[in-house]
Structure 1
Amino acid sequence: MSFQLPPLPYDYQVLEPFVDKETMNLHHTKHHQTYVNNLNGATKDSDIVAICQNIKNYPVAVRNNGGGHYNHSLFWKWMAPVGSSNVAPTGTLKEKIEATFGSVDEMKKKFTDAALTRFGSGWAWLGVQKDGSLAISSTANQDNPLMAGVADVEMIPILGLDVWEHAYYLKYQNRRAEYIQQWWNVVNWDEVVKYYDNFASKNNPVPINQ
Structure 2
Amino acid sequence: MGSADALKAQLKELSDRRAALELEVAQRSARLETAGVGMGGALVDGEGFPRADVDVAAIRADRHAIITLTNDHKALTRQMEVLLHQLHALSSLPGAAAPQPAAAVAARPPPPVASGQHMANGSGSPIAHQAGHSLHQPFAVVDEVTSGSPAAAAGLQLGDQMCSFAGVTQQTAGTLQAVAAALQGNEGRAVEALVLRHGAPLALQLTPQRWGGRGLLGCHLRPL
TM-score, normalization by structure 1: 0.29
TM-score, normalization by structure 2: 0.28
Larger gyration radius, structure 1 or structure 2: 2
Structure with more of its chain in strand, by fraction: 2
Structure with more of its chain in helix, by fraction: 1
